[in-house]
Amino acid sequence: MARLIVYYAHPGHKHSQANRAMAREARRVEGITFVDLYADYPRFDIDVDVEQQRLLDHDVVLFQFPVFWYSTPSLLKEWQDLVLEHGFAYGAGGDRLAGKTLMLAVTGAGPEEAYTEHGYQHHPLRAFLVPLQQTACLCEMRFTAPYVLYAALRAPSEGRVAPHVTGYRRLLEAIRDDRYDFDAAAGREVIEHDALPLREAN
Ligand X SMILES: Cc1cc2nc3c(=O)[nH]c(=O)nc-3n(C[C@H](O)[C@H](O)[C@H](O)COP(=O)(O)O)c2cc1C
Q: Where does this chain bind ligand X (CB under 6 A)?
A: 12, 16-20, 66-70, 107-110, 152-153
Q: In this chain, which residue has its C-beta nearest to ligand X?
A: 108
Residue closer to ligand X, measured from CB, 46 or 153? 153
Q: Cβ(121)–Cβ(164) under 8 Å?
A: no
Burial 146-181 (b: 16+ CB within 10 A, else e): bbbbbbbeebeeeebbeebbebbebbbbbbbbebbe
CB closer to ligand X, 10 vs 179: 10
Minimum CB separation of residue 50 from ligand X in Å reads 26
Nearest Cα residue to 7 out of 106, 82, 88: 106
Give the nearer residue to ligand X in terms of CB position, either 66 or 197.
66
The secondary structure of 61-89 as a DSSP string is: EEEEEE-BTTB--HHHHHHHHHHS-BTTT
Considering the complex, state which of residue 30 and residue 69 has its C-beta at the smaller distance from ligand X.
Answer: 69
CB 93 → ligand X: shortest distance, Å? 36
